[in-house]
Amino acid sequence: MDKTDILIAGGGAAGIIAALAASGSGAGVTVIEKMPLLGKKILATGNGKCNYTNYYQSEECYRSSSVDGSLFAWDALKKFGCMETVGLFKKYGIMPYEKDGYVYPLPGQASSVRDILERQLKNTDTVINTDERVVKAKIHISKKSRQQDGFIIETDKKQYFAKKFIIATGGKAGFVHGSDGSGYKIAKCLGHSVIPPLPALTSCILDEKFLKDWAGVRTKGTVSAFSGTGQLLCQDSGELQFVAQGISGIPVFQVSRYISAELHNKRKPYLVIDIMPLYSIEEIASELKRRRTEPVNQSAGDMLEGILNSRLALALLKKCGIPVKRRALEITDKETIKIAKSMKEWRLNPQATGGFDKAQITCGGIPVSEINGDTMQSRICGGLYFAGEIADIDGICGGYNLQWAWTSGYIAGSSAAKSCTSIS
C-alpha cells in the first residue's frame, strides 16, 4: 500500500492548483487522474484560448442551489481571488492578456496554461498517476489511538493510505474530458449528501414548428427565464443563437441552470426573448403600421425586411399565425400589435436543456453547508476536502468557473497541507 500525506482525486484545474499549493507548503502529495493527461478540460476553455479568470468580480457571478452559496464563494474569493490567480500564474510564467475584463494567457492558447501548470507540478515531489481512477474511500482508524488518522483510498490499480483526502473530480459536464460524476459517489460513502447535479451553461431545447426556419440566425437580444409560477429567475443580454433544436448563445447559457432546476423539479419554466431591445412595442407597431401601406403591394414578409433577419421573420410570422405571403394591407391593427409584442415578448417553452455532453459546467453537487469555506474541509468528515466543480458552486460565463477551481483548489491544498504539518 502506497502512503502519502495528501491524496488528490482528480487532476483537472482544481486538482492541479491544490497539488501545487499543498506541495509548496511542504506536504507529500499524490494526484490520481483517470485521463491520460492532466488538465484536459482546460484545453477546451475559452474556445481553446483559456479565459482563466476575469478582472470583474462580484458575488452575483457565482451561483448555487443553496441560499447562501453565492456568499460562500465570494468569501472564499476574498482569500484567493482574481488578482492572486494572475499573480501566481505570472510567477509560473503565464503572462496575462486582458480584453473587456476577460483574462487570457498572452499566447492565446489554452495549452500554454495546461502545459506550464503541469511542468510546475512535475518540478515538485508530487506523485502523478494518470490513467488511474479512484473508486472507493473509507476512513482509517488507528489501532493505537482508536481515532481517525487518515483514509484508505482504493483505485482501479492499487490502494493508498493518505492522511488527508481532496476530492477534485469535477462534476458531470464534459464526459469526454473526464467528468463522470464519480466524485459524488465517493463523497456519499464518506457521509455527504449531494444536490442533484444538472447541466448548466448550455442551450435550451424547444418543441416548436418554426425551429428549422430560424436555424443559423444570430441576433442581439435579451432572454429572461421565468419559473413555472411566473417568477423572474434570471435575465441576460447579448448575442442569441437560433438553432434547429432550440436556442443557444451566451445569454441562454447564463439562464440555463435555472431552467434545468425547474424542469428537474417537474415545473414548467418558460423563456421570454426580446429581439428588438432598442425599440419599444409602441415604436415597432407604429413602424409596422406605416409599412402596411408603403408600398401597397408588399407582403407580410416584405413588411419585416430591414427589421429582422428574413429567416427569423418567417419564424415570427409562423408563431403569430400570419402567412408570410399575406398582403400587408390585410394585416389588422390587432395583428400588427401582436407582431410587435412578439418581437419584444416572444415566449418559448423549454422541453429540456442541452445534456451534460453539451454543458460547460454542472450545477448542484456537495452542499456548501457541508463544507467549511475557510478551508474547504468537510464539516461531515474530518480530513476530507473539496475543490472545484464538485461543490455546489457554478459561475457565469467569462472565466468564473476556472476562477472557482483556482480559488477552492488553492484553499483546499494549502489547508490540507497546514493540517498535515500541524500533526506531524
What does the block give as the cell for 247? 436556442
> What pLDDT does residue 299 have?
93
> What pLDDT does residue 177 have?
67
- Give the pLDDT confidence of 268-296 residue by residue, as tens digits: 999 999 999 999 999 999 999 999 887 77
**Low pLDDT (below 50) residues in the chain:** 424
Return all residues near 249 (Cβ < 8 A) that are at least 6 apart: 218, 238, 239, 240, 241
Chain centre to alpha carbon of residue 106? 24
> What pLDDT does residue 47 have?
85
- Give the pLDDT confidence of 68-102 residue by residue, as tens digits: 899 999 999 999 999 999 999 999 999 999 999 99
Give which of 275, 286, 277 is closest to 333, Cα–Cα. 286
Query: Which regions of 40-174 does DSSP assign to beta strands (E)?
Result: 53-54, 62-63, 96-99, 102-105, 127-129, 134-141, 148-155, 159-167
Return all residues near 176 (Cβ < 8 A) that are at least 6 apart: 357
